[in-house]
């Protein structure tokens, strides 16, 4: 039955492509199609190609905008800011000799979902990946006609392209479609949370590719902004370079650049595992800066950018030819935390509590991942002051004799453990630099650490191991961020 449903859906997609093929006189990118969602509250661009000098008229929601195509045939019109609306309306683009009409267009919140396989992972089963928890129930419950899904086809290019290729055009979210097009589970749960909390239409654009590093997703201009990464800026512009998934900017050119300047509220990002297994975790923060700055430059917007910290996994066992130490993962996690401090309007989701199998690099709990990402958006983009978005973050240490008193930000009512046991995965060291497991006690918003072998504590580490699944949370149910005080020493 599922195979038949998928086949019927794919035939519908092919038929839709035939109907939406642009007329010769006025062409628009593949993002403009029936069932799309336009971003509310901003000037929404509509753009395309026509003959040089042609006048183009764009009509939507009682607005009419007129522009002329330039000498290269390119044109762009900008709609005045729109209010959110679930009313299906028509967007009409007219040229001298033809027109394009797009039906069932909604106005709401649009987000881009990108990264590697943990973003690409769908709700149902996928080759060599288990389905998410309660997958069948989640698929049956995915009837949200005001959530629209768009998937970019996985391709690469050695220079920026004008348009993306489509894995799936704008699609109404339903049990049949979300399963048929294999949409990102983390992206879907993020969008569903926004939709149910805000009661507005949500458009989700997925551009992801399993096994990819951050460099191919980064714009050349992003590398330019970080002097330490100049070698990647050169490689991204290398003429005649073989275009591979590892080539700097190759996925950006084909899968991200053509999406701009389509109006979006922000980006959610889930990536990092492939950079860890390549051995460059320590400079991942600078690569995140390049990624975010390059994308913001493409959209000419300081759009929000929320991302997921890599989850616990036995890298040095399962990937022992690539990862030699169980500390490689926390080093990359530390770089991800550092990126949040370097970049405004960013936020990070911690996943140390969301893994049920330390040998599965694709954790099955994507619902909490998506909903935690949505917490950042709700709190920062939609002024929801009641939403807690972060777990405890280490602030300072005070030493009194043999005791180390740690204070944290984002305790939100106090610190707890999710299993009622003493906090785990703290280690302390004295002047000799030797770390010992710490006895940990919660006292309000503080954690008190001690070990008889450390008479005068000097430094602390928390969750500093690839397998760490600590139990320290705030009362909002969000886990503490891994850290070490001795970074760079």
> Which CATH number covers residue 92?
2.60.40
Q: Is residue 3 part of a domain?
A: no
Q: Is residue 246 part of a domain?
A: yes
Domain residues for the domain of 429 are: 393-484
DSSP lists the bridge partners of residue 386 as none
Total domains present in the chain: 3
Q: Residue 169 sits in a domain of what CATH number?
A: 3.40.50.1110
Kindly give, in sequence order, each residue whose CB lies less than 8 Å from that of residue 258, ignoring residues fewer than 6 positions away: 29, 160, 161, 162, 163, 164
Helices (H), 327-481: 328-342, 367-380
Residues 352 and 204 in one domain: yes
Pick the last residue of a domain from 104, 138, 160: 104
- Under DSSP, the state recorded for 103 is E
Residues 78 and 118 in one domain: no
Q: Is residue 48 part of a domain?
A: yes
Pick the last residue of a domain from 104, 131, 151: 104
Residues 270 and 159 in one domain: yes
Instruction: Answer whether 483's CB lies under 8 Å from 334's CB.
Output: yes
Residues 292 and 408 in one domain: no
Residues 375 and 403 in one domain: no
Residues 265 and 350 in one domain: yes
CA distance 77 to 43: 9
Q: Is residue 9 part of a domain?
A: no
Instruction: Answer whether 79's CB lies under 8 Å from 62's CB.
Output: no
Residues 42 and 171 in one domain: no
Residues 125 and 260 in one domain: yes
Structure confidence at residue 488 (pLDDT): 63
Reading the block at residue 187, the tokens are 């992206």
Pick the last residue of a domain from 380, 405, 431: 380
Rg of the chain over Cα atoms, rounded to whole angstroms, equals 24
Residues 98 and 116 in one domain: no
DSSP lists the bridge partners of residue 102 as 91
Structure confidence at residue 224 (pLDDT): 97
CB neighbourhood size of 101 (10 A) = 12
Using DSSP's 3-state secondary structure scheme, residue 450 falls into strand
Residues 374 and 414 in one domain: no
Sole residue written with tokens 């002329």: 68
Segment 405-414, tens digit of pLDDT = 999 999 999 9
Structure confidence at residue 3 (pLDDT): 43
Residues 317 and 457 in one domain: no
Q: Is residue 387 part of a domain?
A: no
CA distance 383 to 264: 17
Q: Is residue 49 part of a domain?
A: yes
211 Rama sector, left if φ>0, alpha if ψ -120 to 50, beta otherwise: left
Residues 203 and 277 in one domain: yes
CA distance 54 to 96: 7
Reading the block at residue 217, the tokens are 């997703």
Q: Is residue 13 part of a domain?
A: no
Per-residue pLDDT tens, the chain, 489 aa: give them: 444 444 444 444 444 443 344 445 799 999 999 999 999 999 999 999 999 999 999 999 999 999 999 999 999 999 999 999 999 999 999 999 999 999 999 999 999 999 999 999 999 998 889 999 999 999 999 999 999 999 999 999 999 999 999 999 999 999 999 999 999 999 999 999 999 999 999 999 999 999 999 999 999 999 999 999 999 999 999 876 678 888 999 999 999 999 999 999 999 999 999 999 988 888 999 999 999 999 999 999 999 999 999 999 999 999 998 999 999 999 999 999 999 999 999 999 999 999 999 999 999 999 999 999 999 999 999 999 999 999 999 999 999 999 999 999 999 999 999 999 999 999 999 999 999 999 999 998 899 999 999 999 999 999 999 999 999 999 999 999 999 999 865
CA distance 86 to 84: 7
Segment 306-321, tens digit of pLDDT = 999 999 999 999 999 8
Instruction: Answer whether 183's CB lies under 8 Å from 152's CB.
Output: no
Q: Is residue 397 part of a domain?
A: yes
């Amino acid at each position: 039955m599922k195979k038949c449903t998928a086949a019927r859906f794919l035939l519908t997609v092919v038929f839709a492509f035939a109907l939406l093929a642009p007329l010769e006189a006025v062409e628009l990118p593949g993002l403009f199609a029936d069932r799309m969602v336009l971003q509310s509250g901003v000037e929404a661009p509509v753009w395309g190609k026509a003959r040089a000098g042609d006048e183009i008229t764009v009509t939507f929601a009682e607005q009419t905008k007129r522009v002329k195509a330039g000498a290269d045939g390119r044109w762009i019109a900008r709609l005045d800011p729109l209010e959110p609306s679930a009313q299906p309306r028509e967007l009409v683009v007219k040229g001298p000799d033809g027109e394009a009409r797009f039906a069932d267009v909604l106005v709401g919140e649009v987000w881009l979902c990108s990264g590697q396989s943990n973003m690409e992972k769908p709700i149902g089963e996928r080759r060599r990946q288990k389905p998410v928890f309660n997958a069948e129930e989640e698929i049956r419950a995915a009837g949200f006609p005001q959530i629209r899904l768009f998937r970019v086809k996985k391709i690469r290019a050695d220079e920026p392209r004008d348009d993306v290729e489509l894995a799936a055009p704008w699609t109404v979210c339903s049990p049949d479609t979300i399963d048929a097009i294999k949409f990102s589970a983390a992206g879907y749960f993020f969008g569903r949370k926004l939709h149910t909390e805000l009661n507005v239409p949500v458009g989700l654009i997925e551009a992801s590719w399993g096994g990819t590093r951050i460099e191919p997703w980064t714009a050349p201009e992003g590398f330019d902004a970080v002097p330490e990464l100049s070698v990647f800026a050169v490689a991204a512009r290398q003429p005649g370079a073989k275009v591979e998934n590892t080539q700097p900017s190759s996925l950006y050119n084909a899968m991200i650049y053509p999406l701009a300047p389509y109006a979006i509220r922000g980006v959610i990002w889930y990536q990092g595992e492939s950079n860890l297994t390549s051995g460059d975790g320590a400079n991942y923060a600078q690569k995140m800066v390049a990624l975010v700055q390059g994308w913001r430059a493409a959209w000419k917007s300081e759009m929000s950018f929320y991302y997921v910290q890599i989850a616990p996994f036995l890298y040095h066992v399962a990937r022992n030819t690539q990862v030699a130490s169980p500390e490689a993962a926390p080093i990359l996690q530390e770089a991800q935390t550092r990126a949040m401090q370097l970049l405004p309007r960013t936020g990070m989701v911690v996943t140390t509590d969301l893994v049920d199998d330390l040998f599965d690099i694709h954790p099955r709990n994507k619902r909490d991942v998506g909903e935690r990402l949505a917490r950042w958006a709700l709190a920062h983009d939609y002024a929801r002051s009641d939403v807690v978005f972060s777990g405890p973050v280490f602030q300072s240490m005070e030493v009194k004799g043999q005791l180390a008193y740690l204070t944290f930000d984002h305790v939100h009512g106090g610190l707890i453990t999710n299993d009622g046991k003493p906090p785990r995965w703290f280690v302390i060291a004295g002047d000799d630099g030797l770390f010992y497991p710490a006895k940990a006690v919660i006292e309000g918003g503080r954690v008190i650490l001690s070990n008889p072998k450390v008479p005068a504590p000097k430094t602390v580490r928390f969750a500093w191991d690839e397998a760490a699944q600590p139990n320290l949370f705030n009362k909002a149910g969000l886990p503490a961020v891994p850290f070490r005080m001795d970074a760079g020493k």
